[in-house]
Amino acid sequence: MIDRNRCEAKEDCLRVCPWNVFEIGVLSRGERRQLSWIGMLKAFGHGHRQAYAVRAADCHACGLCVEACPEKAIRLASAARAG
């Protein structure tokens, strides 16, 4: 799971993930409206770019992305909790 209020699209998760779970994308208007005030400022400062777990089903829960993220924006969640 990616905390949209924290992610700054620094791409560390992309570099360390051996299963290519992540891609960088642009937040939709709807996603932007759900951000906190600080989250909006951070998103604006980074061109509204953030990491997305586009292949989450391929995740092996190794935790490399969690360790690599400088903003602590990623946490692992079981499929039952994530739904």
Give the predicted TM-score (pTM) of the model: 0.88
Distance (Å, whole) CA 74 – CA 68: 9
Q: Which helix (H) or strand (E) holds 26?
A: strand 22-26
Distance (Å, whole) CA 56 – CA 79: 9
pLDDT of residue 80: 44
Question: Going residue by residue through the chain (83 aa), what tens digit of pLDDT does each one get?
Answer: 999 999 999 999 999 999 999 999 999 999 999 999 999 999 999 999 999 999 999 999 999 999 999 999 999 987 544 43
